[in-house]
């Protein structure tokens, strides 16, 4: 009897502890606020860079979507561009055939990507890392092939042209300097980031990390592993779809490039540069990636892929985790405040035995 009560008390204590830690995590640090203030400031301070900043915001959002499934749930995907591309084509086609309202396009892209994400999440549940890799890669390839073959709809290899956007909310017209576009992308990205932040710091997000760290144990303590994975995969797909829609709307063009393999590989690289399992990783990675791309393709146009490859190899060899940790400790020091996020190294996946 007493033992019973003791264990209930312990459980209640643990729950309180977890709640406190989650609340602690959900608190905004100064560095975070500064980050978003700086992002908002670029709207006014760097007017000639808006086109590239717009791209950075979109890639950052795309990387965030991948981080939700890879960094928080541990699903390795080599075909995340499938959702990005689907969102881009959805928004682009809608705008081409008369529904040019940007927010409507975003909604539609989110819905189609969600449907595809939900449908394919069941395929991803099966098997180990390698199977997931192949299935996600295969799905992206199939989608790319469809986009290529359905040239009457998507324009095939020539790309989708004639995308005309109406003003956002009927007020803000898209201009050629990308100012409206950047403000729009940044706003959407920020809103989605807030939602992701809330999700990650919820008990749901905690259970995802438990699954990532040890699926077997997570199942044993009563977490519905498959349902959680389906949910987060679908969410990640929706985010990717919205990112794709943003790209289509702000560049007013969609090409086969949006579903290409290198886009899936690039986003993985962006996330790895910035840090996996860390909400700002995608954004930091996107900034670094774009700057690197700029510098490297200035040095050796056309061959900058070589350096990207070299960077990947070096990052992996020097230890992806330690680099993330290093960046984080720097982040913490800047914040002068512990974010208190105990995070072990991503565990090696369980070998099938």
Nearer to other proteins, 103 or 260 (CB): 260
Q: State both tokens at 196.
A: 């992701």
What mask of x and - would describe binding to other proteins in positions 193 to 232, judged by CB under 8 A? ----------------------------------------
Q: Kindly state whether residue 142 participates in binding other proteins, applying the rule CB under 8 A.
A: yes
**What single-letter DSSP state applies at residue 160?**
B
DSSP assignment of 215-256 equals HHHHHHTT--HHHHHHHHHHHHHHHHHHHHHHHHHHHT-B-G
Q: Least CB distance from residue 25 to other proteins, whole Å?
A: 24
- Please report how close the Cβ of residue 277 comes to other proteins at its closest, in angstroms: 11
Residue 138 makes contact with other proteins by CB under 8 A: yes
Lookup: tokens for 80: 């995340």
Q: Does 158 bind other proteins (CB under 8 A)?
A: no
Cβ-proximal residues to 254 (8 Å cutoff; 6+ apart), any chain: 88, 89, 92, 154, 155, 159, 160, 163, 247, 248
Kindly state the number of chain residues that form the binding site for other proteins, as judged by CB under 8 A. 52
Residue 195 token pair: 């939602």
- What contacts 188, CB < 8 A, 6 or more positions away? 61, 106, 242, 246
Taking CB under 8 A as the rule, which mask of x and - marks residues 237-276 in contact with other proteins?
Answer: ------------------------xx--x--xx--x---x
Residue 166 binds other proteins (CB under 8 A) = no
Binding residues for other proteins, per CB under 8 A? Answer: 70, 76, 78, 123, 126-131, 133-135, 137-139, 141-142, 145-146, 148-149, 261-262, 265, 268-269, 272, 276, 300, 302-306, 308-313, 315-317, 320, 346-349, 351-353
């Amino acid at each position: 009897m007493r033992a019973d009560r003791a264990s209930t008390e312990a459980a209640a204590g643990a729950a309180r502890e977890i709640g406190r830690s989650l609340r602690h995590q959900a608190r905004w640090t100064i560095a975070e606020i500064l980050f978003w203030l700086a992002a908002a400031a670029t709207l006014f301070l760097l007017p000639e860079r808006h086109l590239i900043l717009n791209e950075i915001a979109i890639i950052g959002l795309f990387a965030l979507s991948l981080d939700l499934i890879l960094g928080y749930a541990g699903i390795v995907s080599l075909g995340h561009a499938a959702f990005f591309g689907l969102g881009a084509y959805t928004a682009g086609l809608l705008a081409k055939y008369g529904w040019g309202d940007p927010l409507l396009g975003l909604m539609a892209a989110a819905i189609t990507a969600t449907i595809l994400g939900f449908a394919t999440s069941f395929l991803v549940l099966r098997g180990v890392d390698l199977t997931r890799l192949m299935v996600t890669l295969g799905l992206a390839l199939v989608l790319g092939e469809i986009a290529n073959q359905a040239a009457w709809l998507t324009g095939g290899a020539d790309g989708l042209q004639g995308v005309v956007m109406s003003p956002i909310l009927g007020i803000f017209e898209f201009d050629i300097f990308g100012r409206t576009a950047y403000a729009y992308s940044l706003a959407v990205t920020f809103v989605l980031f807030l939602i992701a932040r809330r999700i990650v710091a919820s008990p749901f997000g905690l259970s995802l990390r438990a699954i990532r760290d040890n699926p077997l144990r997570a199942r044993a303590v009563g977490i519905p592993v498959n349902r959680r994975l389906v949910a987060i995969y679908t969410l990640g797909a929706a985010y990717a779809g919205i990112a794709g829609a943003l790209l289509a709307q702000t560049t007013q063009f969609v090409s086969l490039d949006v579903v290409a393999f290198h886009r899936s590989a690039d986003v993985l690289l962006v996330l790895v540069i910035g840090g996996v399992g860390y909400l700002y990783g995608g954004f930091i990675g996107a900034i670094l990636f774009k700057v690197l791309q700029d510098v490297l393709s200035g040095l050796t146009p056309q061959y900058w892929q070589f350096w990207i490859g070299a960077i990947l190899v070096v990052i992996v060899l020097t230890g992806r985790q330690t680099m993330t940790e290093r960046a984080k400790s720097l982040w913490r020091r800047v914040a002068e405040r512990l974010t208190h996020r105990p995070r072990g190294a991503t565990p090696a996946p369980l070998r099938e035995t």
